[in-house]
A = this chain, B = another copy of it.
Amino acid sequence: MSATEQRSAAPQRSTRQRRALAALLNESDDFHSAQEIHEILRERGEAMGIATVYRTLSSMAEAGDVDVLNHSGEAIYRRCSTEHHHHLVCRQCGRTVEIAGPAVERWTQSVSREHGFTDVSHSLELFGLCPVCQQA
């Protein structure tokens, strides 16, 4: 249930910038920071203001179209697959593997309940060295 949501608050006009950004995100499975994305687009001749990159990514994130992670103080984005999941990210090249952790979800639930906490969200991310980067 993600196709169309006629929200009166977000008209989402189609502009050159948004198309370029969406296209870029669709090409990669990996996480990139707003700054990186801005840079890549510029190199391609699809330059746009950094503010626009941030604004667009934010709205996409809010709309649930991209995943956002917080990696040591900076947000990194990635086109999103709908269900809840976690990531195994290469700390060197950004290569990402999507991971489902039903066991973790259950564990989270029980721990929260056990301590009387409600409305609990969890962030679980793995950062390591992917096979390729291990050789370098």
Contacts and interface: CB of A to CB of B under 8 A. Distances in A.
B112 A88 contact: yes
Nearest to A116: B131
Contacts of A97: 115, 117
B125 A118 contact: no
Given A70-B72, A101-B111, A116-B130, 17 more contacts: A73-B73, A88-B115, A90-B117, A99-B111, A103-B107, A104-B107, A104-B124, A115-B130, A116-B131, A120-B129, A121-B127, A122-B124, A122-B125, A122-B126, A122-B127, A123-B125, A124-B124
Interface residues of A, number: 34
Given A112-B126, A124-B122, A124-B124, A88 B117 contact: yes
A130 B117 contact: yes
B128 A120 contact: yes
Interface in A65-92: 70, 72-75, 88, 90
A39 to B, nearest CB: 20
A108 interface: yes
Contacts of A131: 116-117
